[in-house]
Chain A
C-alpha cells in the first residue's frame, strides 16, 4: 500500500464491553480504496461484533471509527449506511415476504427522491424514478444471476441465492465499503469458487473496498489482499495471506499447541 494514501476506513483502538465482559479490545484496522481485506479468527473471537460496531448496531465503548475522513461517533445505523457502509449478515436477513426484485429495490431507498404524496398521486416524478430503479435493480440481479427469479418471494430462494441476493441488496445502497459476514457459509466448493469470482467482480465493477469475515481459508487466502486476525477480541496478526499462513501465533490460535 502506498503510504501517502488516505484509508477510507480508519479504526483506532476500538473496544466494547457487555457488562463486565470485554468482547473486543484495542482493535485497529485501516482499509484503503478498492481493497479486499479478510477478517478471520476462531469462533467467538469477536469478528461479527466488530462488524456490528462498524455499522453502529452496537455503540463502541472505546476507540474511534473514521469513515471517509469523517468521525462516526454520533452516527446511527441508518447514518452509517447513508455515508457508505453496507453489509450482509451471518444469519441471512432478507425481507422474506418481499419479492427478490423488491428486496433490491428496497436497497435503493435513499436514492429515490419522490415523496409519499407523489407516490399516492402517481406523479410523473414517481413513474420516472420507479422506472429507473426497476432498470438498475434488474441490472444488479443480472450480475448476481438472479434475473430469472426476480418475482420469486425471497424466502423461497435456495440458500446460495439468498446469500447472493443479500449482497445485491447491500450494493444497491451505493456503498464505498461492503462488509460481508461469512458469505460462503453453507456453500459447496463449486458455489464458493463462483462466489470468489463474484466478489472480485464486485470490487472491479463497483470500485469499492470489501471487508469480509470468512472461515473458508481457501476463499480468504484466494481473494484477500490483506488479512487481519482476531483472537479473544484482540488483534493477533495482520499481513498478506502468505505472512498470515506463516505466522506461528495464528496457527496456534487455530490449532492449539
Chain B
C-alpha cells in the first residue's frame, strides 16, 4: 500500500522494534554501569559479576537461536562454554609472552574459543541433525558430560619444545621455564585476568547483530520454516539438516566466545564449573525470557544471574526465594489475560501509527 513507512509504524514493526529495544538495553546498561564504576558506586560483589553476566547473556542469546528460533533442544550449552573457556585460557597463556597487548590477546582467545566450540558443534551436529525428534537433546546432554570428564582428566603445559599433553596423571615433564595450562581436576590456575566489562558488552552487541541479521534473512526464514513445518519446508526446497546445523553451530560458537571471556575473568577455573546444572540454568534463562525473544532472554539472564547473589545475605532462604521468583515469572509470562492486554496495547498503537503514515 503506502510504500513510505512513517517513523511511528517503523517503530511498531516487530522486527525493527525488537532491534531498537535491544540496542537501547545494551547501551543503557553500558552507560549506567560505566557511570557507576567511575563514581565508585558499585560494590565489589557487583563488579565481580559484570563479566560473568555478560558471558551468560551471550551464551543465552546463542542458545535461544537454537532452542527458540530453530526449535531444537540443546542441553549442553555449558559444554560449549567449557570448550571456549579452556581453549581461550590456553591460547592466552601460550601467547602471554609474545602478545603483550591484553585486548589483542583477549580478542584472539575469544576467536579461538568461538572456532573451537563451533567445530565441536559441527562434529556432533552432522550425524545428529539428520535425525528427527529429541536426539539432539540427548546427544548434547551427553556431550556436556563428556567434555567435563575430558577436561577434568587433561593435563596440558608448554615449554620451549612446544605443547606437552597427557591424559594420565601429571607426567608431563616440562623443561625449566615451562608452564602448566591445565591441571586436570584443578582446571586452569594462575590465569592472567584480562577480561573486561567493555569487551563483554561488545560481545553482547556483536551476538545480537549476528542473531538478528541471521533471523531476518534467507537463513533465518529457512530456520523458522523448518521449525514450524518440517515437511512443508522440505517441499519448498529447504535442506533441513543444513539449516538446523547453521543455527546450532552459530549457537555453539557464541557459547564458545562467551566461555573464553568467562575463563579469562578468573585466575582459577575448574572444569566442574560447566556441568549439567549450568546448561540447565542457561536453558532456564532462555525459556523464561521467551523462546525467540532476545530482549526477554537478556533481561531474564541478568535478573537470574544477579538474584542469587543479591539474596546472599538471606543465607539458607536464598534458593527458596529464587525458586519462588522463578515460578512467579513463569506464571506471569504465561498469563493469557496479561498477554492479551499487552497485545491490545501494541495493536492499538500499531494501527494508530499506520494511520498517520
Contacts and interface: CB of A to CB of B under 8 A. Distances in A.
A109 B238 contact: yes
Contacts of B218: 109, 112, 114, 116, 119
Contacts of B145: none
A77 B219 contact: no
Interface residue tally on A, bucketed by range: 35 or more
Contacts of A116: 214, 217-219, 246
Contacts of B235: 55, 57, 77, 81, 86-87, 89, 93, 170
A95 B228 contact: yes
Interface residues of B, number: 27
A106 interface: yes
A230 B237 CA distance: 28
A95 B1 CA distance: 24
A195 to B, nearest CB: 20
Contacts of B232: 89, 93-95
A120 interface: yes
21 contacts: A57-B231, A78-B238, A89-B231, A89-B232, A95-B232, A96-B228, A97-B228, A98-B225, A102-B224, A105-B221, A106-B222, A109-B221, A109-B222, A116-B219, A119-B219, A120-B209, A126-B217, A130-B217, A147-B1, A151-B13, A173-B237
Contact of B224 (A81, A82, A98, A172): A98
A41 interface: no
B236 A170 contact: yes
Contacts of B239: 78
Interface of B: 1, 13, 209-210, 213-214, 217-222, 224-225, 227-229, 231-239, 246
A114 B213 CA distance: 13
Interface in A3-25: none
B210 to A, nearest CB: 5
B6 to A, nearest CB: 15
B210 A77 contact: no
B214 A173 contact: no
Contacts of A170: 235-236
Contacts of B234: 57, 76-78, 81
A96 B233 CA distance: 12
B217 A119 contact: yes
Contacts of A95: 224-225, 228-229, 232-233
Nearest to B217: A119
A119 to B, nearest CB: 3
Contact of B236 (A76, A96, A107, A112): A107
A119 B213 contact: yes
B202 to A, nearest CB: 16
Contact of A109 (B210, B227, B229, B236): B236
